Amino acid sequence: MGQAMRSESISRGLLSDQVYELLRSSILDKSRRPGSRLVESELARNLEVSQAPVREALKRLVHEGLVVSAPRRGSYVTEFSRDEFEVARQLRAVVEQLGAQLAARAVTEEELTDLDRVVEKMQDSVARHDWATFRLCDMEFHTRALELARQPVLQRVWSALQPALISQRAIGDPAFADSGETMVQWHADLVDVLRSGEADRAGEMFRAHASGALTPGQTNAP
């Protein structure tokens, strides 16, 4: 009896994970626009699942800030004003600058190799025109880079900023630069500057990248 209940719980958990990944990807690739409504019953019907895994997936997205939920209003894809986004963008530049300065002093070659792999995944997603995966890889890159600073407070601030940046396509959007290839080269350059160990230059390049002022192959930030 206990074994059967445990298996059912695991099965439902895996189903919830799948629904979560599908909904998250649809937000990241802009299939579901900011402000669009997410109706549990409708999603369950379209995905051919019960409402329970949809409800669990939506709770996770609310926790991440990608979805907002209000009594009697339902759930919606998070929408941010331009003013909110501008504040988030400025904060991002400061956080990434400080994070890169600290990371350049502490990063190991193994950690840099991990970042190289993320850049390779970004390149592969560009080749396949898979922009949802591209955005996920971009977020993974910057999340990992901040982890290298060894300062949990920076990671918490980054997590709080992500939804606003995603909403305005300031993370992982090929249109934010000239092309997906451009964005890939930017990130390769950022790994190189961390590898150099030059903390101040690393900070300036990450700040310039966050503000859109960095160009591929640039060795010094403006």
pLDDT for 25 equals: 83
DSSP element (H, E) containing 109: helix 109-127
8 A C-beta contact, residue 134 and residue 125: yes
Residue 24 near residue 62 (C-beta atoms within 8 A) = no
One-letter amino acid of 47:
L
Q: How confident is the model at residue 1 (pLDDT cuts 50, 70, 90)?
A: very low
Tens of pLDDT along 45-55? 999 999 999 99
pLDDT tens-digit profile of 32-71? 888 899 999 999 999 999 999 999 999 999 988 889 998 8
Res 22 pLDDT > 50 = yes
Task: Provide the residue type at 19 as one letter.
Answer: V
Q: Can you tell me the distance from the alpha carbon of 148 to that of 191, in angstroms, rounded to the nearest whole number? A: 12
The H or E element spanning position 38 is strand 37-38
The predicted pLDDT at position 218 comes to 53
pLDDT at 165: 77
Can you give the pLDDT at residue 206?
95
Report residue 172's pLDDT band, with 50, 70 and 90 as the boundaries. Answer: low
Question: Which residues, 6 or more positions from 112, have their beta carbon under 8 angstroms from its beta carbon?
Answer: 191, 194, 195
For residues 93 and 174, which has the higher predicted lDDT (pLDDT)? Answer: 93
* Rg value, the chain, Cα: 19
Residue, of 188 and 180, whose pLDDT is higher: 188
Q: Does position 219 have pLDDT exceeding 60, yes or no?
A: no
DSSP SS3 for 34: coil
Burial of 73 per CB tally in 10 Å (0-12, 13-18, 19+): exposed
